[in-house]
Structure 1
């Protein structure tokens, strides 16, 4: 899939903000620990992806009622939905100088009902010419997302016949609709009611 940069300045995809707070000591410590176990950008990116995918459960899978949205809080609480986990992965990648951004899909139930926006990540390794999408949502039966720069292996292949959409835009900061849903929800049931259905 060809991604369209919302901001053509690559430095925007290395910046920090309120949600992607890669300046936070916990994010820095985590990034440094993961880097020391790898030593090169590709290995680090894969390890950071697997760290977020595998050690931070998606709150729908774990049953956690808390709503986290800042990358540092996601790492501290080991909790978050797809948007929050994507914030954590983007922060870890940017902490080691790897440009990363946020992407979104519109997904639905198997009968096309209950559409909702799903968040994932795109990264560009130093020297690379293209962006690669990865999905740190977390695997479960029927979901097998993997780190690949060549052939995407995302959590959810889009089914256009059900009205699902792969949005091509690459965002340097969280989409306002996704961020508003996270910030305005006191718990996960409220978050489910607040999830955007389209961008």
Structure 2
């Protein structure tokens, strides 16, 4: 889909902040290790995506009650929900000079109830002019998100008939409502109650 950058400055999508702390030694070391196995931006981006998708379980799948939201903490604890894993992937991409940001979907249950904001990432390879969305949530039966910069392979294609929405905005930093929920929740049970149901 066509994304709308919230900042016209491409360097905003390379910056570090409290959640996307790609200056942290663990993020830098992880990025360097992944780069050494690849050597070019495309292969590195794919490796970083698969690393976050496959080696860091979604806490709802693993049953982990801890709430991680800072990229370095997600890597350290090997734990996080979709938003936290997106922070980690964006940090790894930015650590190697690949512009990346955050975007969101509004999803619902099969009957349209219980709307919830789901977090994704988007990247633009150096020298390119196209942003591509990726979903590092983590696969399981019924979910098969893939690295594909031409055709989206997200965990949850939206169902407009149920009120689900692909938000077109591309954020350089986490949405304040999402970040507040993550930061102020003592455990995952509280986080489910705090996560925004709209943006």
TM-score normalised by L of structure 2: 1.00
1:12 alignment counterpart: 12
Alignment of 1:103-182 (within 5 A): 103-182=103-182
Within a 5 Å distance, the mapping from 1:1-199 to structure 2 comes to: 1-199=1-199
3-state secondary structure, aligned to 1:149: coil
Unaligned runs of 5+ in 1: none
Question: CA offset at residue 72 of structure 1?
Answer: 0.1
| TM-superposed deviation, 1:136 | 0.1
How big is each residue's C-alpha offset from its partner over 1:129-159, in whole Å with a ceiling of 9 and x where there is no partner? 1100000000011100000010000000000
**TM-score (norm: length of structure 1):** 1.00
SS in 2 for 1:101: strand
Deviations 1:2-39 (A, max 9, x none): 00000010000000000000000000000000000000
Q: What is the alpha-carbon distance in structure 2 between the residues aligned to residue 19 and residue 150 of structure 1?
A: 28
Shift of 1:180: 0.5
Whole-Å separation in 2 of the counterparts to 1:171 and 1:195: 18
Unmatched tracts of structure 2, length 5 or more: none
For residues 12 and 135 of structure 1, the distance between their equivalents in structure 2, rounded to whole angstroms, comes to 21
CA deviation vs aligned residue, 1:62-117 (integer Å, no higher than 9, x gap): 00000000000000000000000000000000000000000000000000000000
CA distance in 2, matches of 1:87, 1:50: 14
Aligned mates of 2:129, 2:23 — CA distance in 1:
27
RMSD over equivalenced CA pairs, Å:
0.3
Distance 1:45 1:194 in 2: 31
Q: How far apart in 2 are the matches of 1:30 and 1:168?
A: 30
**Structure 2 CA distance for aligned equivalents of residues 58 and 20 of structure 1:** 18
